[in-house]
């Protein structure tokens, strides 16, 4: 757990960050979101003391980071930045192994770990192990950057616009890959972004900053459906709810035909086991926004949701808006 208490950063006469109070929960990804210049990078850098706070405290696992040597602190925290910052004279394997080598870890174990990590980020170790950063595409270099940050197996990962330099397609793919990695590894991640979709898609929680202050901290649904201010509403935009649906499989919203263990009867609804299933079906992996389009196009109020072609539930307009206060 990372705690920020009354954190403040002053550059000359102006406050880049002021009275920031935030808790980043263990094992969750928190997106630090906000307009350019609002203090995201400064906040992130105060966590690993690349920037020293002017006031307030940062606690890491309950310990005040000022009591730790900055180098020791940073070795325990993975850090990924947009420009990746790979060492150009080292090959991919050596780049990924930087921190384990620094920590004096066993060479053979490290080599195996490097291969495992390259696999994890979707780079074939045999193909990429010996390449130099100059021989990589932007997306490949960012994957190496993520692998390097994970190499020492730090419980905490700080990421500053890690996918920012990528074209939309490569960014989508790397975001998906990272989401899978995070589901498995459950690191405590703070990810700076000014990309709303990225924040809503990857963030378990979102901290929205505005002019050095925290505007709202909550789940993506909190920000979309329960914005605390006009700023939040405007920053997310009118179509935030629709965009949020685009990032989620329709299976998340369906009413199951049977309970999770397949034994209990499902919630009775129009799609309950006793009544006939809606004629139009979609796979559970389809994104929820596309399912909404199907609903509208077909002029029906419910769809059957299938898994591998077998019906597993149904979904209607109200289910897709289930997290919103508008639900009747
Ligand atoms: N080293 C510095 N010296 C002086 N001012 C700085 C320094 N670093 C940042 N600032 C100022 O602090 C404010 C916050 O900067 P910061 O880099 O944290 O913003 P950001 O939210 O990360 O923005 P962006 O989305 O553009 O990266 C800005 O007004 C910036 O000009
Ligand atoms: Mg920044």
- For ligand 1, atom 30, name the residue with the nearest CA: 37
Report pLDDT for 266.
Answer: 43
**Domain ranges (residues) in the chain:** 2-246, 250-320
Report pLDDT for 264.
Answer: 40
Q: Does domain 2-246 have CATH number 3.40.30.10?
A: no
Query: Rounded CA gap, 48 and 76, in Å?
Result: 9
Domain covering 250-320 in this structure, CATH number:
3.90.1280
Q: Is the CB of 40 under 6 A from ligand 1?
A: yes
Q: Alpha carbon 35 to chain centroid distance? A: 18
pTM of this structure: 0.77
- For ligand 1, atom 29, name the residue with the nearest CA: 37
Report pLDDT for 262.
Answer: 45
Q: Is the CB of 207 under 6 A from ligand 1?
A: no
Closest atom of ligand 1 to 194 CA is: 25
Q: Is the CB of 193 under 6 A from ligand 1?
A: no
User: Tens digits of per-residue pLDDT, 273-323?
Assistant: 456 889 999 999 998 889 988 988 888 889 999 999 999 999 998 888 755
Q: Where are the alpha helices (DSSP H) in the chain?
A: 40-47, 70-75, 92-96, 98-102, 107-120, 125-128, 138-151, 168-185, 196-202, 220-225, 230-236, 240-246, 288-298, 317-320
Mean per-residue pLDDT pooled into runs of 10, the chain (328 residues): 97 95 96 94 95 96 93 86 82 89 81 90 92 89 87 88 78 82 90 89 94 96 91 85 81 82 43 70 92 87 93 90 47
């Amino acid at each position: 757990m990372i705690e920020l208490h009354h954190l403040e950063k002053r550059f000359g006469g102006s406050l880049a960050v002021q009275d920031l109070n935030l808790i980043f929960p263990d094992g969750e990804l928190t997106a630090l979101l906000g307009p350019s210049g609002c203090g995201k990078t400064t906040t992130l850098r105060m966590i690993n003391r690349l920037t020293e706070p002017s006031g307030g405290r940062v606690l890491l696992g309950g310990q005040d980071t000022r009591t730790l040597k900055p180098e020791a602190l940073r070795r325990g925290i993975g850090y990924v930045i947009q420009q990746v910052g790979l060492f150009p004279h080292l090959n991919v394997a050596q780049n990924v192994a930087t921190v384990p080598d620094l920590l004096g870890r066993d060479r053979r174990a490290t080599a195996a770990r490097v291969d495992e990590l390259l696999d994890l980020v979707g780079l074939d170790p045999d193909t990429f192990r010996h390449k130099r950063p100059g021989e990589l595409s932007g997306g490949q270099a960012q994957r190496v950057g993520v692998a390097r940050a994970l190499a020492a197996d730090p419980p905490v990962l700080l990421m500053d616009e890690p996918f920012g330099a990528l074209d939309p397609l490569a960014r989508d793919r790397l975001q998906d890959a990272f989401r899978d990695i995070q589901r498995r590894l459950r690191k405590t991640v703070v990810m700076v972004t000014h990309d709303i979709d990225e924040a809503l898609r990857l963030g378990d929680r979102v901290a929205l900053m505005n002019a050095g202050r925290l505007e709202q901290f909550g789940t993506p649904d909190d920000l979309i459906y329960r914005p605390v201010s006009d700023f939040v509403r405007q920053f997310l935009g009118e179509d935030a709810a629709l965009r949020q649906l685009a990032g989620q499989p329709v299976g998340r919203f369906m009413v199951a035909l049977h309970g999770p263990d397949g034994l209990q009867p499902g919630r009775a609804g129009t799609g309950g086991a006793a009544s006939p299933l809606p004629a139009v079906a979609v796979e559970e992996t389809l994104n929820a926004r596309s399912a909404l389009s199907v609903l509208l196009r077909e002029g029906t109020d419910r769809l059957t949701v299938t898994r591998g072609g077998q019906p597993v539930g149904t979904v209607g307009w109200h289910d897709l808006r289930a997290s919103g206060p508008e639900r009747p």
